[in-house]
């Protein structure tokens, strides 16, 4: 397994949750880390949470906008790894008759098509590890989950296609299941704790995931040079129940 020390890593969605946990892990390993997000205020808070080390920089950009993606890669130059944990699920968790088409399209752009930006593909870098959105599609279809399930299914197909098209660049995904991140405030509102506790009792591991669990998985994919076109399930046995 390769050491990620001295690697240059961009983490889209690195201002919170899984992306922030991964940024912390990579910085401790000696990597240079660029966190990217749409909110300058959240990026600033993330930098403060990480104690603003010298190896960290932050760039505000929206990966659903190709002009901003192109400008981003012009600014940061050569990379070793690209990771995307970005998600836009506002308005996406609705029963199908209530789904707003613009919200669904925005979710698709942020969570799947943003990972195959032409500007990303033109870069000179080694392994690429796009990670799906923090709300991975469940093993069984559920009400209000049609948009998110469709987006994540598309992302799984994209991983396999890009692994062939961009070879020898590696492309992998992590399917993280139920993880305690701030995004649950949008999904469950004031029932967040109740919802996660109920799932924890059902999972074989007896708990929901933490951001560090997913950071471990992404770090493995970055370091393992013999893994590509793979969806790594890190979901506490959710597929078994």
pLDDT (mean) for 148-167: 87
Q: Flag whether 241 is in a domain.
A: no
Asked whether the beta carbons of 74 and 123 are under 8 A apart, the reply is no
Q: Establish whether the linkage from the previous residue to 159 is cis, with ω within 30° of 0.
A: no
pLDDT (mean) for 44-65: 95
Q: Flag whether 143 is in a domain.
A: yes
Specify the pLDDT at position 136: 40
What is the pTM for the complete model shown? 0.85
Check pLDDT > 50 for residue 146: yes
Looking at per-residue pLDDT, the higher value among 59 and 134 belongs to: 59
Check pLDDT > 50 for residue 127: no
Q: Flag whether 199 is in a domain.
A: no
Specify the pLDDT at position 149: 77
Give the list of residues 6+ apart from residue 146 with CB closer than 8 angstroms, or none: 96, 99
Q: Flag whether 239 is in a domain.
A: no
Specify the pLDDT at position 77: 87
| Nearest by Cα to 209 from 232, 172, 241, 235 | 235
Q: CB neighbours (10 Å) of residue 152?
A: 22
Per residue in 186-212, pLDDT (tens digit) is 777 899 999 999 999 999 999 999 999
Asked whether the beta carbons of 89 and 135 are under 8 A apart, the reply is yes
Per residue in 2-40, pLDDT (tens digit) is 678 989 999 999 999 999 999 999 999 999 999 999 999
Specify the pLDDT at position 237: 96
pLDDT bin (cut points 50, 70, 90) of residue 94 is: low
Q: Flag whether 198 is in a domain.
A: no
Q: Flag whether 190 is in a domain.
A: no
Specify the pLDDT at position 132: 39
Q: Flag whether 179 is in a domain.
A: yes
Specify the pLDDT at position 215: 96
Q: Which domain holds residue 16?
A: 8-184+211-233
Q: What is the CATH number of the domain that holds 159?
A: 3.40.50.720
Q: CB neighbours (10 Å) of residue 83?
A: 30
**pLDDT, the chain, mean:** 84
Q: Flag whether 101 is in a domain.
A: yes
CA geometry: angle 49, 54, 56, nearest 5 deg: 55
Q: What total number of domains does the chain contain? A: 1
């Amino acid at each position: 397994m390769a050491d990620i020390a001295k690697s240059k890593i961009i983490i889209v969605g690195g201002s919170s949750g899984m992306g922030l946990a991964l940024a912390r892990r990579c910085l401790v390993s000696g990597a240079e880390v660029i966190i990217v997000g749409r909110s300058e205020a959240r990026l600033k808070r993330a930098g403060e949470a990480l104690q603003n080390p010298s190896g960290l920089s932050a760039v505000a950009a929206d990966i659903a906008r190709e002009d901003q993606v192109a400008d981003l890669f012009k600014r940061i130059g050569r990379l070793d790894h690209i990771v995307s944990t970005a998600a836009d699920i506002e308005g996406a968790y609705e029963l199908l008759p209530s789904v707003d088409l613009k919200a669904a399209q925005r979710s698709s752009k942020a969570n799947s098509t943003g990972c195959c930006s032409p500007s990303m593909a033109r870069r000179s870098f080694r392994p690429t590890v796009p990670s799906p959105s923090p709300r991975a599609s469940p093993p069984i279809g559920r009400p209000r989950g049609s948009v998110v399930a469709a987006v994540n299914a598309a992302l799984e197909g994209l991983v396999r296609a890009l692994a062939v098209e961009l070879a020898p660049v590696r492309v992998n995904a992590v399917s993280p299941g139920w993880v305690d991140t701030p995004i649950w405030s949008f999904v469950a509102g004031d029932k967040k704790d109740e919802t996660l506790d109920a799932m924890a009792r059902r999972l074989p591991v007896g708990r929901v995931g933490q951001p560090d669990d997913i950071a471990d998985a992404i770090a493995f994919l970055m370091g393992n040079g013999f893994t590509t076109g793979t969806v790594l399930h890190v979901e506490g046995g959710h597929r078994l129940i």
